Amino acid sequence: MSYFRKIGVVVVFSLLATACGGGDGDGGTPESGQPAVNQELRVGAGEDQYVREGTSANLGVQPVNANIAETLTYLSPTYEVRPLLAERWEFRAPNTWRFFLRPNVKFHDGQPLNAQAVKTTLFDRVAQQRGGGTIKAGPNSAVVVDDLTIDFTPTAPNYRVPEQVVHPSNVVYAPGSDAGNRPVGTGPFRFVEYQPKERLVVERNPDYWGTKAKLSRITFRFFPEANARRLALEAGDVDVAFGISGPDVKGLRSRGFEVATSPVGSYQAMYANIRGGPPHDLLQDPAIRLAINLGIDRKQLVEGVLEGQATADQTMIPPDALGRYKSKINGFPFDQARARTTLDNAGWRPGPDGIREKNGRKLTLQLISGFGGAEVHKPVPAYLQSQLRNIGIGIDIVERPDSASYQSLIDSGSGDLFLERGSQNDANVGFLPTLLFYTGGSGASAQYTKLFAPGPRFDQILAPAVTEPDADKTQSIVADAMHQLIDVDMVVIPLAGLFQIYGLKKNVQGFTPHPSLISLRWDNVSLGSNR
Amino acid sequence: MRNYVLRRLLLFVPTLIGMSILTFGVSNLTPGDPAFAFASRLANRPATADEVAEARKDLGLEGGLVPRYFRWAGRAAQGDLGISFSTRLPVRPELVQRARYTLQLAIPAAVLSVLIAIPVGVISAVRRGRFSDQVLRIVTLAGASVPSFWLALMLIVVVAVKLSWVPSAGRGGAVSYILPVLTLSAAPAAVLARFTRSALLETMTSDYVVTARAKGAREAVVVGRHALRNALVPLVTAIGTSFAALIGGAAVVETVFVWPGVGRLLVEAIGQRDYPVIAGVVLYSGAVFAVMSLVVDLLYAVIDPRIRLADEQ
Find chain A residues with C-beta within 8 A of B255's C-beta: 224-225, 228
Convert the pLDDT of each residue in A239-277 to its tens digit.
Answer: 999 999 888 999 999 999 999 999 999 999 999 999 999
Q: Report CA dihedral (A59, A62, A66, A67) to the nearest 10 degrees.
A: 100
Q: What Cα–Cα distance (Å) separates residue B47 from each residue in A41, B4, B43, B51?
A: 35, 54, 7, 6
Task: Answer whether B32 sits within 8 Å of A444, measured CB to CB.
Answer: no
Q: What is the pLDDT of residue B204?
A: 81
Q: What is the DSSP letter of A524?
A: T
Decide if pLDDT at B49 tops 80.
Answer: no
Write the residue in B36, B47, B170 that is nearest to A198 by C-beta: B170
Do B89 and B278 touch, CB atoms closer than 8 A? no
**In chain A, which residue's Cα lies nearest the Cα of B160?**
A235
| In contact, A106 and A112? CB cutoff 8 Å | yes
Contact B162 A402 (CB under 8 A): no
The chain-wide mean pLDDT, for chain B, equals 85
**A335–chain B nearest CA distance, Å:** 33
Which chain A residues touch B156 with a CB distance below 8 Å?
228, 231, 235
A54 and B163 within 8 Å at the Cβ level: the answer is: no
pLDDT of amino acid B142: 92
Q: Considering only CB atoms, which chain B residues are within 8 Å of A53?
A: 87-89
Question: Cβ of A224 and B255 within 8 Å?
Answer: yes
Query: pTM for this one?
Result: 0.87
Long-range contact set of residues A509-515: C-beta below 8 Å, sequence gap at least 24: A509/A31, A510/A214, A511/A240, A511/A260, A512/A77, A513/A77, A513/A260, A513/A261, A513/A262, A514/A77, A514/A262, A514/A265, A515/A77, A515/A79, A515/A262, A515/A263, A515/A264, A515/A265, A515/A266, A515/A318, A515/A320, A515/A423, A515/A424
Percent residues over pLDDT 90 in chain A: 76
Whether complex ipTM tops 0.85: no
Residue numbers in B near A423 (CB within 8 A): 44-45
| Mean pLDDT of the B264-271 span | 88
Which carries the bigger pLDDT value, residue B167 or residue B234? B167
Q: Give the burial string for B288-299 (b: 16+ CB within 10 Å, else e).
A: bbbbbbbebbeb
Beta-carbon-side half-sphere exposure of residue B268 (alpha carbons within 13 Å):
30
Contact A435 B40 (CB under 8 A): no
Among the partner residues A62, A407, A443, nearest to B33 by beta-carbon distance: A407
Cα distance from B156 to chain A (closest Cα, Å)?
A: 7
The alpha carbons of chain B give a radius of gyration, in whole angstroms, of: 24
pLDDT, one tens digit per residue, over A482-509 is 999 999 999 999 999 999 999 999 999 9
The per-residue pLDDT for A9 is 53
How far does the CA of residue B100 sit from the closest CA of chain A (Å)? 14
- Helical segments of chain B, H only: 2-29, 34-43, 49-58, 65-77, 91-126, 131-145, 148-155, 178-203, 207-214, 219-221, 228-247, 251-256, 262-271, 275-303
The reply to whether residue B37 touches residue A407, judged by beta carbons under 8 angstroms, is yes
Could you tell me how many CB contacts below 8 A there are between chain A and chain B? 164
pLDDT of res. A195: 93
Contacts of A46 (CB under 8 A, 6+ apart): A63, A64, A222, A223, A224, A226, A229, A242, A243
Name the B residues in 69-108 with CB < 8 Å from any A CB: 86-89, 94
- Closest chain B residue to A169 measured between Cα atoms? B43
Q: Do B157 and A231 touch (CB under 8 A)?
A: yes
* Residues of chain B contacting A234 with CB distance shorter than 8 Å: 161, 168
Point out the residue among B33, B255, B256 whose CB comes nearest to the CB of A404: B33
Judged by CB atoms within 8 Å, which residues 191-220 of B form the interface with A? none
Chain B residue with minimum CA distance to A21? B162
Q: What is the DSSP string of A70-103?
A: B-SEEE-TTS-EEESSEEEEEEETTTEEEEEEPS
Sheet strands side by side (includes A96-101): A86-92, A96-101, A149-152, A142-146
Q: Which residues of A touch B50 (CB under 8 A)?
A: 130-131, 442
Establish if B156 touches chain A: CB-CB under 8 angstroms: yes
Q: How far is CA A45 from CA A68, A224, B172, B191, in A?
A: 16, 8, 18, 36
Of A49, A57, A167, the CB nearest to B41: A49
* pLDDT one-digit tens code per residue, A191-200: 999 999 999 9
User: Which one has a higher pLDDT value, B218 or A523?
Assistant: A523
Nearest CA in chain B to A170: B43
Query: Is the confidence at residue B43, as pLDDT, over 50?
Result: yes
Q: Residues 234-263, chain B: which have Cβ within 8 Å of A?
A: 255-258, 260
Chain A hits for B86, CB-CB cut-off 8 Å, are 49, 51
Smallest Cα distance from A222 to chain B, Å: 7
Rounded to an integer, what distance in angstroms lies between the CA atom of residue A280 and that of residue A415?
6
Higher pLDDT, B213 or B311: B213
Residue B134, chain A, CB below 8 Å: the answer is no
Question: Among A192, A190, A218, A200, which Cα is nearest to A106's?
Answer: A190
B227 CA: distance to closest CA in chain A (Å): 27
How far away is chain A from the Cα of B294, in angstroms, using its nearest Cα?
Answer: 33
Interface test with A, best of B48, B133, B264 (most A CBs within 10 A): B48
What was the pLDDT predicted at B210?
80
CA A364 to CA A282: how far, in whole Å? 9
Instruction: Select the more confidently predicted residue: B279 or A297.
Output: A297
> Which residues of chain A lie closer than 8 angstroms to B47, CB-CB?
445
Question: Does the beta-carbon distance from A435 to B48 stay under 8 Å?
Answer: yes
Could you give the CA distance from residue A190 to residue A107 in angstroms, rounded to a whole number? 9
On the 0-12 / 13-18 / 19+ scale of CB atoms within 10 A, A300 is middle
pLDDT at B309: 54
Full set of structural domains in chain B with CATH? 93-312 (1.10.3720.10)
Q: Quick one: pLDDT at residue B48? A: 76
Is A198's CB within 8 Å of B257's CB?
no
Stretches where chain A sits below pLDDT 70 are: 1-33, 442-443, 530-531
Burial class, A360, CB count within 10 angstroms (exposed 0-12 / middle 13-18 / buried 19+): exposed
B313 confidence band (pLDDT: 50, 70, 90): very low
